[in-house]
A and B are shown apart, each in its own frame.
Chain A
Amino acid sequence: MFRRISGFAAALTLAVMLATASAFATTKTVTIRVSGMKCGNCSSSVAKALKATAGVKDVEVSSAKGEALITYDDEKVNEARLREVINGTGFKAEE
């Protein structure tokens, strides 16, 4: 009986560890330089478009620094797609 419970606990622990590792492994953060964000009242479209993109978890856009800090699920979206989204707002994602 004790052996059966121990086996179950070990399997459960392993499953939780794998799930946790998987969750962390898919989250990435990238900083993308964005040129042209000179008008403070129009750069909000960058954050808006990125936040509406599937897989994007968090966005911080600074027009003063000229960059976007993006946290995303790399199983759902990649950096190239994020750059496309930024370029689609009329600004330019620098390489």
Chain B
Amino acid sequence: MLITLPAVAWGQEREAPSLTLKDLRGRTLRLSDYRGKVILLNFWATWCPPCGAEIPDLIKLQKEYGRQGLQVLGVTYPPERQARVLRFTQRLKVNYPVALGTREAKALFSSDETLPLTIIIDRDGKLRDTISGILLPVEFEEKIRPLLMSPNPKGETKHVQKN
């Protein structure tokens, strides 16, 4: 009896899709530029109350774990206006890059309709997990902190963009 295994077997995480967007200042933001870091790709919207409630926690995580290789990347979910997003992020003092996203950009990573939605990508650029809804401290401890313990396979990241 022949059993056909799926292309992605257990323990073999899928490579993160290529993603190129514009940040709030019109600069190009490429997901691949952050290879070597543990990425939290956070899909959010200004009109989503839990998304706004989660942002201070993400700011704190970026501040506390950035030196260990954590990189939060915010990607908005439509409908959004750039000026509104800019005001929103400035008011909250967001300390990580934020790009204007599309429905298609989110669909590349997950079919989950929930917002906020955070995709965890490891230092090798592999998709490791999806956090549906607000990221809870226990989820950080279980799913993200262990990835930060792993060494950077390529040494320093090739590019770090700051907002």
| A residues neighboring B (CB under 8 Å) | 36, 39, 41-46, 48-49, 52, 88-91
Contact = CB atoms under 8 A, between A and B. Distances in A.
A49 B49 CA distance: 14
B133 A44 contact: yes
Contact of A90 (B49, B114, B138): B49
Interface of B: 45, 47-54, 113-116, 132-134, 136, 138
A46 B34 CA distance: 32
Contacts, number: 51
A42 B138 contact: no
Task: Tell me whether chain B's interface is mostly helix, strand or loop, or mixed.
Answer: loop
Contacts of B138: 52
Contact of B134 (A36, A39, A41, A45): A45
Given A42-B49, A91-B50, 18 more contacts: A36-B49, A39-B48, A39-B49, A39-B115, A42-B114, A42-B115, A44-B132, A45-B50, A45-B53, A45-B54, A45-B134, A48-B133, A52-B136, A89-B53, A90-B48, A90-B51, A90-B54, A91-B49
Contacts of B115: 39, 41-42
Nearest to A41: B113
A90 to B, nearest CB: 3
Contacts of B53: 45, 88-90
Nearest to A47: B133
Contacts of A44: 114, 132-133
A81 to B, nearest CB: 16
Contacts of B51: 42, 90
